[in-house]
Amino acid sequence: MSGNGDGALVWDRDGRDWPNRETSRFVQAAGLRWHVQQAGSGPVMLLAHGTGASTHSWAGLLPLLAERFTVIAPDLPGHGFTDPLPSMQMSLPGMAAALAGLVERLGVKPDIVVGHSAGAAILAQMILDRQIAPRLLISLNGALIPYGGAAGRFISSMAKVLFINPVAPRFFAWRARDRRTVERVIGGTGSTISPGGLAIYQRLFRSPVHVSAALNMMARWKLSPLAQELPRLPCAVTLVAGSHDLAVPPDQAFKLAETMLAAKVELLRGLGHLAHEEDPARVAEVIFTTVGGLTPEASRRVP
């Protein structure tokens, strides 16, 4: 397995060929040691990856965005090379508060925030809690509303059962030694990514600490309170949805947009849940176009 004695990843070994390694540094904030990547200049853009991913998810997109923005992308708590939070703080408000602590420590004020999947929910929570005040939230296949009915309850219950079982993270990490296991997980999102991207996910999934953090997030995630507050978001919102997304159905974005003032949907045909990894240039163009078309009226709404 990758990592040290407790199953955590080790930067000097597991990060030797990390994507965009030259932009990486480690920062102490909110009681954690964070792995943060920063590149570019201009208005600050904060990126938040999804559950089970890491900064590697932005490998192709970050350099493109850095041509116009100061891009900041951390590994979320317990993911990649960032320390885990105490178990009870791996909830949506807890993760938002921790990331807010990092932003404060960095001394930046994000102008644009971009979140993938659960990362979009964390950023939305931070905005609602007035921990950040961006002009625009861009949700990439954002997991912003609960899965419906029995399916949602089953996923949450299963994650709780797996998380409280101390053997489960190490079992999943052991299974990840088989490349086919990782390929099935990624294929289940509706995306086809590069062999290099698959290799990084395999490295992550072989870390029991990383797997435990992902399971803990899933076990403690409650989106209903957030979903009720989303119409009050005091900034412009663009919901980018991949037509082939099997993890967060694209129709969720259209349903959500109907409840939010001035929110708009951008549908990426032919791409899945990891659209920004499949075609970073296409996603970058959507982001640039969205930011370029932002008006003062759209970017500042008072709920």
pLDDT one-digit tens code per residue, 89-105: 999 999 999 999 999 99
Lowest mean pLDDT among 141-155, 185-199, 228-242: 141-155
Sheet containing 32-39: order of strands: 24-29, 32-39, 70-74, 44-48, 112-116, 136-140, 236-242, 264-268
Segment 156-174, tens digit of pLDDT? 444 444 444 555 566 567 6
- The tokens describing 109, both together, are 């004020």
Beta bridge partners of 223: none
- Taking alpha carbons only, the member of 169, 2, 150, 176 closest to residue 87 is 169
Classify residue 257 by burial, with Cβ atoms within 10 Å: 0-12, 13-18, 19+.
middle
The pLDDT of residue 160 is 44
Residues with Cβ < 8 Å from 41, sequence gap 6 or more? 69, 70
Q: Which residue has the tokens 């900064």?
A: 55
What is the Cα–Cα distance from 7 to 105, expressed in whole angstroms? 28
Q: How is residue 96 written in tokens?
A: 């938002």
In the prediction, which pLDDT does 297 show?
A: 53
Are 128 and 93 contacting, i.e. CB atoms less than 8 angstroms apart? no
Closest listed residue to residue 290, CA positions, set 83, 76, 135, 74: 135
Is residue 36 very low, low, confident or very high in pLDDT (cuts 50, 70, 90)? very high
Q: Which domains does the chain have, with CATH numbers?
A: 11-149+222-295 (3.40.50.1820)
pLDDT of residue 298: 52
pLDDT over 90 for what percent of the chain? 74
Residue (of 123, 185, 166, 118) closest to 145 by Cα position: 118
Amino acid at 249: P
Report in angstroms the alpha-carbon separations of 39 from 62, 69, 74. Answer: 8, 8, 12
Q: Residue 302 above 70 pLDDT?
A: no
Mean pLDDT of all residues in 50-63: 97
List pLDDT tens digits, range 210-224.
998 998 888 888 899
Q: Which of 63, 72, 121 lies closest to 248 in space, CA to CA?
A: 121
Beta carbons within 8 Å of 65's beta carbon, 6+ residues apart: 40, 45, 47, 71, 284, 287
Band of the pLDDT at 154, cuts 50, 70, 90?
very low
**In this predicted model, what pLDDT tens digit does every residue of 244-293 receive, in sequence order?**
999 899 999 999 999 998 799 999 999 999 999 999 999 999 999 999 98
Check residue 175 and give its pLDDT.
Answer: 77
**Which two three-digit tokens encode residue 13?**
């070994």
Return all residues near 227 (Cβ < 8 A) that are at least 6 apart. 144, 145, 146
The token pair that represents 238 in the structure block? 């663009």
Give the pLDDT score at 157.
44
Q: How far is CA 236 from the centre of its chain?
A: 19
The candidate with the shortest Cα–Cα distance to 9, out of 215, 176, 208, is 208
CA 122-184-147 angle, to 5 degrees, is 40
Give the separation between CA 273 and CA 89, rounded to whole angstroms.
26
* Cα 112 to Cα 42: distance, rounded to the nearest angstrom: 11
